[in-house]
Chain A
Amino acid sequence: MTAKGQGRTAFAYLAPALLVLGGLLAYPIYQLVLISLYDYGQEQVSGGAPLEFLGLGNYRNLLGDRQFWGVLGQTVAFAAVCVVGTLLVGAFLAILATRVRTWVRMTLFLAALGAWSTPAVAGSTIWLFLFDANFGFVNEVLGIQGFSWTFDKWTAFGLVAAQVIWCSFPFVMVTLYAGIKAIPGEVLEAAALDGASAFRTAWSVMLPLLRPIILVVTIQSIIWDFKVFTQIYVMTNGGGIAGRNLVLNVYAYQQAFAASEYGLGAAIGVVMTVLLLGITMFYLRALRRSGEVL
């Protein structure tokens, strides 16, 4: 086939994909930036008031708003707790999994698979029920019936973080376990022959070999936990009392669809996209540095 013919056939094959991606991803991204530059509220949507171009006005409002900075700080702190928790639990269990017999490991993996595959809404609801003030099993065991976990800001955040860790550690565990298993036995034998202790082997032999995998799961977790929406929304009923359990994603949603400040909501969306793209760039650079080819 001629080069021109190839190109034509290729684009015929690509056309449906390009149509969908262009219309439903590329165009909305452009629109997101555009809307964030306007005063776009209920009146503008219904046509009752003319569109007013604000330039960076929404961003200026946002950066001058104390609540925004509070929510941003909370988002970062919440994501940090979830990421660290997920990695610690996942890594710890991955190491334990290499030291037990197959049936014990399969039992653990099966349980983890269950947590992993539970839909976020169902998972959040189950945890709410388990920690329910009056009918929850946890309060019954702890003997603190009537205690509401979701009322106080910090116990509410803690509960959501625990739920997030519950459903995201399996990914880390399974990936790290596969990584550990992929380390050639000779390397570990050589270390043992040289008289290295178990700790020394883990620290100086296994850790450097696992670094690329650890990097991948860390960044992946950061990206996921930064974007948590469902768990916060369901478990704190839309961001907690007076919005004290808000994270960026839920905040953007509330500004846009509850307060009808679509321009402001879009601006928060842009901020979040930029932050995540920054993390991703860092990720790609780190990947390349560790010798991974794309």
Chain B
Amino acid sequence: MSNGQSDRAIDVSGLGKRFGARWVLRGTTLAVRPGEVVGLMGQNGSGKSTILRIVATLLKPNAGTAQVNGLNVVRDATAVRAQVGYLAHTPGLYDDLTARENLKFAADMLGMPATVVDASLERVGLARVAHERVRGFSAGMERRLALARLFLRTPTVLLLDEPYSNLDAAGVELINSLIGGIVRTGGAALVALHELAPARGLIDRTLTLVEGRIDAARPNLVGAAAGVA
């Protein structure tokens, strides 16, 4: 059993995943060190979300292994879940509950004290609409509320799936402060990205997925674009 002192926050090896007859991942291998922020690039359908969902213990791979801080995502799923903060594509909120009730539910499920709920709402700027039902929220507000769930506690590994979509400049700032906060405490982040722009300055390196594999020819867009490190 690992005590979480592994030198790799995320370690993915030879990962294969198929849906029906279609192979989405075809032997993907990647690693993220503690304190590192890695951008995962690639076209729609290249397998970015699938990797994140496997590491988040939401999907089981057909082949290969994935580990978080040395814990196997299949065997030690419960322990992995306690360490991982995952932001999905869809906000995954309950429309008929208020913003505050949604967060209270998340706090209950995470085993966090109820006091963190209001602080988290404040942080994402939704304190004003805390008692309104999510059904009336705009896409941007829903994103912020989904994000607020990640502020309820401090995970050691962040998995963000296209976090910048539907967000204004202030929202982008929120995401970046979330990532920054995790990294400062020695955590790591794997961020699926459409474009690099909003995350520039925060991302240490990028990996590009092409047809379910890491494209070795384009190892680091950050280095190439910035010229100097």
Q: Do A and B come from one complex?
A: no
Q: Which residues of B contact A (CB under 8 A)?
A: none
